[in-house]
Structure 1
Amino acid sequence: MSDKNEILDLELMPELVVVTGMSGAGRTEAMHVFEDLGFFCVDNLPSSLIENLVDMRCNSDDGPNRLAVVCDARNGDYFGSLTDELIALKNKGINLHVIFLDADDEKLVARYKSSRRRHPLCSDGTTIAQGIQLERTLLMRLRSMSDTVINTTDMMPSALRDTIRQLFAKGDERRGLAVTVYSFGFKHGAPVDADVVMDVRFLPNPYYDPDLRGLTGLDEPVRDFVMLRDETIEFKKRWHSLLDVLMPGYVAEGKQQLAIGVGCTGGQHRSVALAESTGDYLKSKGYRVSVAHRDLKLAERGGRVDYSTETPDVHAAV
């Protein structure tokens, strides 16, 4: 970063997490969590390039402004300068958090034996245990300056994920769950990728009203026909109550992607209106939601099937 841009850079500074520690202690699993939390992630980054990455994200208008990088012994000669690089970054006022992942030697040996992978510091004639001792000596100073040390000896992967989410998604856990709500028509095939499916074919069908047949659930007359009926009002109360039970459970379980399918006969009227309503409700509860309409391209417009739209209508996640 140049001196003349230092003040601007500090104002725009992204959050930076550096994940390091013992090989086999869970760095890959940790990076998966940061990816799910929306961080811009780089694995096995040479320490000398961290500042360049921060500078690049400061000057970028798109993408996440939260960075997570893994720096470890795989970097060879570059790794030795990591502690000095981190001190320099902190001295410049960069919002930096260093996580050190550790585990007992016996557990690390067992993990490497079960994975059949070679330890990065093991050369010909060197045992896994010797490689671990060499790495531990190399990382001694780095461990002492880390902000958070996590010992994964007795941790299942899910416990490590929960620990990281508690550190970096506290109060914002719902935003870590990417929800897609989409409408579909059963006559075009049942969904194969939905975690939750709601069948709304029990509601009166606007298709049988000639004035509404050529419209869709995105049009106000159809939306009013569907949403203002007593049956729909009662259904929404119970549907929302079910979602209020399901969604916190999925968040607590650590689920990162959830697909909710809302289906009617053709995927044109009722399911479209109810998918939009469901998406709005979940957004109001703080979830990150996209709404899509799988079969809207097949909607009957004025008595004919319209194939002009090649992809489903999709609303970007918010």
Structure 2
Amino acid sequence: MQLILISGLSGSGKSVALKALEDAGYASVDNLPATLLSKLIALYREQGHKRVAISVDTRGGPTLAALPGAMKELSDEGVDVRLLYFEAKPDTLVKRFSETRRRHPLSGPGLTVEECIRQEQEMLAEVKALGYPIDTSELSANRLRTWIKALVGAEAGRLTVVFESFGFKHGVPLDADLVFDARCLPNPFYDPRLRPLTGLDQAIVDFFLQESSVAEMIHDIRRFLDKWLPAYRQENRSYLTVAVGCTGGQHRSVFVIEALARAFAGEQVLIRHRELPETR
């Protein structure tokens, strides 16, 4: 059985993710007290379910403390347990609550939304350490659905290396494990003919292939990963996110990420380009 647990901050996209998994054929349950997790999975196994998605978060109150033990128990029983932790920047969450006019689950007399967010972050600190963080600050609902399906489709038991490009002017991804800065590389943005293109276009590829500094940076990052990937595997991690940023996330970071993904084609690899249009 594959069990996807969804947790994280209110307003970060957990409902979108759970619905995406439900549409993909997962039996889904929202807001389950962690103390009931083992009993529910036993029931689902009796019914023959192979894929289950369950949301467990601060709405469960004190029962959240039982989650680590329940996850270990199920893993020992042979269940492929993965936890996806959703988060976003505080200002993004505040804006979402304001736009939807929804009440924060922790709201009470005298508490602002910002205070509720900080309180929730503290309550979920241990849960976050158990799973793979996903920063939805710059993601549309459609792109989040695509990322979720790619993550859960990865083969269990292998380290999945997520290569992600981004633009520093939009902020560093909260879910990045390793961050490399490509802003020192030559920038095709200043060529009016190349500016509208992205690092996926052949003209941009040809531009970077002529720049020795670009090849040197890719070589250095590759050497670093070659050396340290075994150490991350020994931690029994399921995912490692390697993020490369440039100013706007359109040219340099995209090209470098594509080159790194090809270099590590023997690994289980996922590619993300955070700033590119979803049609790319």
Task: Tell which structure's C-alpha radius of gyration is larger.
Answer: 1
Matched, 1:157 2:141: yes
CA apart distance, 1:83: 2.6
1:65 and 1:25 map into 2 onto residues whose CA distance is: 27
| Paired position in structure 1 for 2:83 | 98
Q: Describe the superposition over 1:175-212 as per-residue Cα deviations: whole angstroms up to 9, x where unpaired.
A: xxxxxxxxxxxxxxxxxxxxxxxxxxxxxxxxxxxxxx
Q: Describe the superposition over 1:63-95 as per-residue Cα deviations: whole angstroms up to 9, x where unpaired.
A: x42000001111122223223322333333321
1:37 paired residue among 24, 37, 47: 24
2:139 and 2:19 map into 1 onto residues whose CA distance is: 16
CA apart distance, 1:130: 0.5
1:68 and 1:107 map into 2 onto residues whose CA distance is: 26
Decide whether the 8 Å contact of 1:44 with 1:69 is kept in 2. yes
Percent of aligned pairs with the same amino acid: 29
2:55 paired residue among 70, 73, 76: 70
| Paired position in structure 1 for 2:185 | none
Give the letter for the 2:17 counterpart: A
Give the letter for the 1:134 counterpart: Q
Matched, 1:121 2:99: no
CA apart distance, 1:54: 1.1
1:83 and 1:119 map into 2 onto residues whose CA distance is: 25
CA apart distance, 1:170: 6.0
Aligned length: 157
| Paired position in structure 1 for 2:7 | 20
How do residues 1-318 of structure 1 correspond to structure 2 at under 5 angstroms? 14-61=1-48, 64-146=49-131, 148-169=132-153
5+ long unaligned stretches in structure 2: 156-277
Q: Which moved more, 1:82-91 or 1:131-140?
A: 82-91
1:81 and 1:134 map into 2 onto residues whose CA distance is: 19
Decide whether the 8 Å contact of 1:44 with 1:74 is kept in 2. yes
Give the letter for the 2:127 counterpart: L
DSSP 3-state at the match of 1:141? helix
DSSP 3-state at the match of 1:56? helix
DSSP 3-state at the match of 2:129? helix
2:125 and 2:88 map into 1 onto residues whose CA distance is: 14
Q: TM-score, normalised by structure 1?
A: 0.47
1:42 and 1:48 map into 2 onto residues whose CA distance is: 14
Decide whether the 8 Å contact of 1:17 with 1:67 is kept in 2. yes
DSSP 3-state at the match of 1:131? helix
DSSP 3-state at the match of 2:94? helix
1:144 and 1:169 map into 2 onto residues whose CA distance is: 22
